[in-house]
Structure 1
């Protein structure tokens, strides 16, 4: 008898499951980016919850990600190769693995001219890596100012993205100057 198990993929984590395990992979995302991979013909699914596009201070090309031991997904440039390796999908036939991209929101109320919002940088890097890996991107839900939850139901072989917004800020009347 199989039972359903909800696996919360936390910041900087990766998770892989199969349809036989009846797991639900879930990531709650703000400026982080979630990369979901669905290999339906093999009933194998993966989810990465990435904090940053890449390590600071390194001029690393997207395709030149360094493999590290462990289950880290802190950086987009390292998470996608690790996720593919964990799924044993490095040599999957072209077009068989579908990708879902969610998150990358601007969760701060103000923008700074010093650097681009981290959510935008995460999304740009993820899109570049998915294109370089020639993965079939079937859904992109990124940007804006609302959080998202990316869910992959391994038993039902589908995904969903749910939006949520931060509570409305209390607005107080400011005195007008004449």
Structure 2
């Protein structure tokens, strides 16, 4: 990993653009990585989300109504990342998304009887669709971990899969 590399850890957001070109990386299991690509401006962002939404949060609330928790919750990550990228007024369709992660890394289930990875992916898809952001690549689910890499200098993104240790 070079000094240009930035590991985006759990519950973190990162943005890279212009002279600050970096390689953003997130290593994901059941967490979901949301990569935003604003190619027209050369600005890229990555959120490493732990959970879909806070406990007790209504499924029918307006996604992203608050910017409270950075990337801990999928529902907060997209508006926070768009704000960090300065993309609040980006023309429709100009920002694209890449989704990775959301694996079933553990055999336990949530109180909703669904793997947390599935819930994370579903919430990410809902929030992105609600914001009018098109998903151009998705590598999610299953039982393998993934590393989402966004190289803002090239520009290029990649998803690498790796197996769960036995």
TM-score (norm 1): 0.86
Q: 1:114 to 1:48 in 2, by over 3 A?
A: closer
Q: How far does residue 61 in structure 1 lie from its aligned partner after superposition?
A: 3.2
Match of 1:86 in 2: 84
**For this pair of structures, how many residues does the alignment match?**
165
Asked if 1:50 is matched to 2:56, the reply is no
Give unpaired runs (5+ residues) of structure 1: 170-178
Q: Can you list the C-alpha shifts for 1:30-64, whole angstroms capped at 9, x where unaligned?
A: 00000000101100000000000000012153634
Q: Can you list the C-alpha shifts for 1:115-159, whole angstroms capped at 9, x where unaligned?
A: 210000000000001111111210010000000000000100110
Higher mean alpha-carbon deviation, 16-25 vs 104-113, is at 104-113
Q: Can you list the C-alpha shifts for 1:85-110, whole angstroms capped at 9, x where unaligned?
A: 11111111111111000000000145
Higher mean alpha-carbon deviation, 111-120 vs 25-34, is at 111-120
Report which of the two structures shows the higher radius of gyration computed on alpha carbons: 1
* RMSD (Å), alpha carbons: 1.9
Match of 1:32 in 2: 31
Give unpaired runs (5+ residues) of structure 2: none
Match of 1:96 in 2: 94
Alignment of 1:1-178 (within 5 A): 5-61=4-60, 63-68=62-67, 72-109=70-107, 115-167=113-165, 169=166
Q: How far does residue 22 in structure 1 lie from its aligned partner after superposition?
A: 2.2
SS of the residue 2:53 aligns to: coil
TM-score (norm 2): 0.92
Task: Provide the rounded CA distance (Å) in 2 between the counterparts of 1:121 and 1:86.
Answer: 25
